[in-house]
Chain A
Amino acid sequence: MLEIKNLHVKLEEEDKVILRGVDLKIGAGEVHAIMGPNGSGKSTLSYVLSGRDGYEVTAGSATLDGAELLEMEPEDRAAAGLFLAFQYPVEIPGVGNMTFLRTAVNAQKKSRGEPEVSAADFLKLVREKAKTLKIDAEMLKRPVNVGFSGGEKKRNEILQMAMLEPRMCILDETDSGLDVDAMKLVSDGVNALRSEGRSFLVITHYQRLLDHIKPDVVHIMAAGRIIKTGGPELALEVENNGYADILNEVG
């Protein structure tokens, strides 16, 4: 599904190197987690994969089912099946959440040569999915993320994911800012989407989320590299001992 090879990234405007050779391979249907200290480059990795401006790839590649992602426009990456749930979802005053969702869904359908969904079908579908995430109709009418609480924003990200049905989902600290019940809700939403053809990359600081969304593989990222890879037990180790031991171990 997703294959990242030797990815080196620096800031476009500064001589600051952030990613120093990331290698990562996620198979179809797998769930991988990335943990790592603040500032190690986790969000940067997710932004570079989804095509945000401001970064320069100095080496390496990232492919989705063999197609080179790094050369595509962000919207084409989305149409190819990539989705990023943002660590900090963006507020867009003046653009209604519903308009936003429908524009996005139809744009992706169009670029894949599929027919657009009718307004009525769309409405029904959104309402249904919103309900399972406990997002009320009032919130759908409001401008995108404007005045949403931290947790509401995160749930809105998952709603978008559920509507767009991407194949490769990256969740960047979707658990931060969620209360215990919301975490359960969001995890249920994610788990409902798990399937053979869909993979997940879950970035988190806390083992707690991984109790709900059980990962197949856990990676530790530090200073722009993946320094250790293991099973779910690696997350427990981090939870109990922090990063010091792992960092020392790899030198």
Chain B
Amino acid sequence: MALPKAKEDALSARLAGLPALSGKGWISAARAEALARLQAMGLPAKRDEYWRYTDPASLNAVDPAAAKSFNPGDEAPPFDGLDRLKVVFVDGVFDPQASDDLGAEGIRIERLADAAAADIHWAQGLYGVLEAAGQSPVQRPLAALNTAFATDGLLIHVTGNATKPVALIYVHNSDNSDAILHHCVKLDPGASLTLLENGPAAARFSKVLEVDVADGASFHHIRLQGRDHERRAVTHLFARLGARSELRSFTLTANGRLTRNEAVVDLTGPDARAHLAGAAVGDGDFHHDDTVFITHGAEACESRQVFKKVLMNGATGVFQGKILVKSGAQKTDGYQISQSLLLDEDSQFLAKPELEIYADDVKCSHGSTSGAIDETALFYLQSRGVPRRTAQALLVLAFLAEAIQEIADEDIAEDIRERLERWLARHGSKAGA
């Protein structure tokens, strides 16, 4: 089916701004197929069903809008004290000097840029494969664009229990950087890995993470998206879960002009478990969108979505979350909650929770709420001498607690709580305070 003229034009303009695909190695076929998918879909537009609440214009634009990097002062970078395998990208370019040697017990890591030229590679079965599968029933053209044009990324093969986490650090330096990274993680049966990601990466950042979690394997993912105010990001997590496997993913977003985080999770084997959580705090020119699609395709799987947003001074939060339970997926346990705390009337939360169930023996619940801070509780705290800002921070942290609790590592959770506390001490609604 031909694209409408407007979509056709937008896509041609965008493609003209990207380098032509070079044809070498196993990856060239994957890229060509992704480009064909993109050409069939066109770029996202405001009228598309899953882009009604988020304007994709700045993600589609040929050039990224400029964004300055945030100076965190003397605050220690996240995950600093952890024993980890560090991989650094600066404006989307791998920095070997700042990175550790790639590889550790139980993990093999290659750069996409190095591995792509080979004739055959294990990542052939993963790169662009989960992304392609995730294009239906909801189209995700920016993910296909990423697969076609990613300049680098990591291919991580986990064969056993990774002894330390892999930490990806995304440094943003240049005001006009436009980064496209694509990572694949393959966990063998019973293997486990914690992947940490931190940083804004670029003025505009596109990232796809494809994760294949084999039977009995476990993948923990914790991400902090940096604190740059003007940066824009579109990210996709595609995960396929085998029997008895586990996925846990938590994202903290503070600041950022535009963030679209999509997660597409397929529970393909029985007794698998997927927990997706996010805490987002925004002040002013902040638009944050979580778009999640979880498919229960096997029996007795559990999925949890816990997304919380704190919005002030005109910030916008979006949640689009779907649980699809296929006909064979009896004993499904699906839970979804999306909530926002609006600190003033200028801020808004738009939510579209969806359930589609074709099995009869399932337990699924979903809820979405939007509320203001509890003034009575605030006064009670103040009457005990707690300053208004601190009192508000306590109540906000209490609101975010359910999302933060999804982080399995208690030290990391505590660090994130402290970061939020500091952020909250610096930000407050200008209305009525």
A contacts, CB < 8 Å to B: 50-53, 73-75, 77-79, 83-84, 86, 89-95, 99-100, 103-105, 107-108, 111, 143, 160, 164
Question: Is B159 an interface residue, CB under 8 A from the partner?
Answer: no
Query: By the criterion CB–CB under 8 Å, are A107 and B397 in contact?
Result: no
Residue of A nearest to B391 (CB): A75
Q: Which B residues lie within 8 Å of A51 (CB)? A: 379, 382-383
Query: By the criterion CB–CB under 8 Å, are B377 and A90 in contact?
Result: yes
Residue of B nearest to A108 (CB): B385
Q: Which B residues lie within 8 Å of A99 (CB)? A: 394
A78–B383 Cα distance when bound, in Å, is: 6
Number of A-B contacts (CB under 8 A): 78
Cβ 8 A contact of B386, one of A75, A89, A91, A143: A75
Query: By the criterion CB–CB under 8 Å, are A73 and B388 in contact?
Result: yes
A99–B386 Cα distance when bound, in Å, is: 11
A111–B386 Cα distance when bound, in Å, is: 10
Question: Is B96 an interface residue, CB under 8 A from the partner?
Answer: no
Q: Which A residues lie within 8 Å of B375 (CB)? A: 53
A78–B382 Cα distance when bound, in Å, is: 8
Cβ 8 A contact of A75, one of B376, B382, B394: B382
| Given A73-B388, A75-B387, A93-B398, CB of A104 within 8 Å of CB of B380 | no
A51–B383 Cα distance when bound, in Å, is: 8
Cβ 8 A contact of B379, one of A52, A111, A143: A52
Query: By the criterion CB–CB under 8 Å, are B384 and A78 in contact?
Result: yes
Query: By the criterion CB–CB under 8 Å, are B385 and A75 in contact?
Result: yes
Cβ 8 A contact of B380, one of A86, A93, A164: A86
The smallest C-beta distance from B369 to any residue of chain A, in angstroms, reads: 13
The smallest C-beta distance from A142 to any residue of chain B, in angstroms, reads: 13
A99–B421 Cα distance when bound, in Å, is: 13
Query: By the criterion CB–CB under 8 Å, are A111 and B385 in contact?
Result: yes
Query: By the criterion CB–CB under 8 Å, are A92 and B380 in contact?
Result: yes
Q: Which A residues lie within 8 Å of B109 (CB)? A: none
Given A103-B386, A164-B385: 18 more A-B contacts, CB < 8 Å? A52-B383, A53-B379, A75-B388, A75-B391, A77-B383, A78-B384, A83-B383, A90-B379, A90-B380, A92-B374, A93-B398, A95-B395, A100-B381, A103-B390, A104-B384, A105-B385, A108-B385, A164-B384
**Chain B count of residues within 8 A CB distance of the other chain:** 22
Question: Is B40 an interface residue, CB under 8 A from the partner?
Answer: no
Do most interface residues of chain B lie in helix, strand or loop, or is the interface mixed?
helix
The smallest C-beta distance from A127 to any residue of chain B, in angstroms, reads: 19
The smallest C-beta distance from A48 to any residue of chain B, in angstroms, reads: 12
Question: Is B21 an interface residue, CB under 8 A from the partner?
Answer: no
Residue of B nearest to A50 (CB): B383
Residue of A nearest to B375 (CB): A53
A103–B381 Cα distance when bound, in Å, is: 9
Question: Is B70 an interface residue, CB under 8 A from the partner?
Answer: no
Q: Which A residues lie within 8 Å of B399 (CB)? A: 94
B contacts, CB < 8 Å to A: 374-377, 379-388, 390-391, 394-395, 397-399, 401
The smallest C-beta distance from A62 to any residue of chain B, in angstroms, reads: 15
Cβ 8 A contact of B381, one of A53, A89, A91, A104: A104
A107–B384 Cα distance when bound, in Å, is: 9
> Can you identify 7 A-B contacts, CB atoms within 8 angstroms?
A51-B383, A84-B383, A90-B379, A94-B395, A103-B381, A103-B390, A164-B384
Residue of A nearest to B402 (CB): A94
Q: Which A residues lie within 8 Å of B397 (CB)? A: 94-95
A83–B375 Cα distance when bound, in Å, is: 18
Q: Which B residues lie within 8 Å of A77 (CB)? A: 383
Residue of A nearest to B389 (CB): A75
The smallest C-beta distance from B30 to any residue of chain A, in angstroms, reads: 46
| Given A90-B377, A92-B377, A107-B390, CB of A160 within 8 Å of CB of B395 | no
Q: Which A residues lie within 8 Å of B386 (CB)? A: 75, 103-104, 107
Query: By the criterion CB–CB under 8 Å, are A160 and B384 in contact?
Result: yes
Query: By the criterion CB–CB under 8 Å, are A103 and B379 in contact?
Result: no
Residue of A nearest to B387 (CB): A75
A100–B393 Cα distance when bound, in Å, is: 12
Q: Which A residues lie within 8 Å of B376 (CB)? A: 90
A202–B374 Cα distance when bound, in Å, is: 27
Q: Which B residues lie within 8 Å of A79 (CB)? A: 385
Residue of B nearest to A109 (CB): B385
The smallest C-beta distance from A51 to any residue of chain B, in angstroms, reads: 7
The smallest C-beta distance from B132 to any residue of chain A, in angstroms, reads: 42
A107–B376 Cα distance when bound, in Å, is: 19
The smallest C-beta distance from A26 to any residue of chain B, in angstroms, reads: 19
Residue of A nearest to B374 (CB): A92
Q: Which A residues lie within 8 Å of B377 (CB)? A: 90-92
Q: Which B residues lie within 8 Å of A50 (CB)? A: 383
Query: By the criterion CB–CB under 8 Å, are A78 and B385 in contact?
Result: yes
Residue of B nearest to A111 (CB): B385
Cβ 8 A contact of B385, one of A53, A86, A89, A104: A104
Q: Which A residues lie within 8 Å of B390 (CB)? A: 103, 107
Q: Which B residues lie within 8 Å of A83 (CB)? A: 383
Q: Which A residues lie within 8 Å of B395 (CB)? A: 92, 94-95
Query: By the criterion CB–CB under 8 Å, are B385 and A107 in contact?
Result: yes
Query: By the criterion CB–CB under 8 Å, are B394 and A100 in contact?
Result: yes
The smallest C-beta distance from B311 to any residue of chain A, in angstroms, reads: 18
Closest 7 CB pairs of A and B: A94-B398, A78-B385, A104-B384, A74-B382, A108-B385, A90-B380, A75-B382
Query: By the criterion CB–CB under 8 Å, are A94 and B384 in contact?
Result: no
Query: By the criterion CB–CB under 8 Å, are B388 and A92 in contact?
Result: no
A75–B401 Cα distance when bound, in Å, is: 25
Q: Which B residues lie within 8 Å of A160 (CB)? A: 384
A164–B386 Cα distance when bound, in Å, is: 12
Q: Which B residues lie within 8 Å of A53 (CB)? A: 375, 379
Q: Which A residues lie within 8 Å of B383 (CB)? A: 50-52, 74-75, 77-78, 83-84
A143–B381 Cα distance when bound, in Å, is: 13
Which residue, A79, A92, A93, has most C-beta atoms of chain B within 10 A? A92
Residue of B nearest to A166 (CB): B385
A165–B385 Cα distance when bound, in Å, is: 12
Q: Which A residues lie within 8 Å of B398 (CB)? A: 92-95, 143
The smallest C-beta distance from A44 to any residue of chain B, in angstroms, reads: 14
Residue of B nearest to A89 (CB): B380
A93–B376 Cα distance when bound, in Å, is: 12
Query: By the criterion CB–CB under 8 Å, are A95 and B394 in contact?
Result: yes
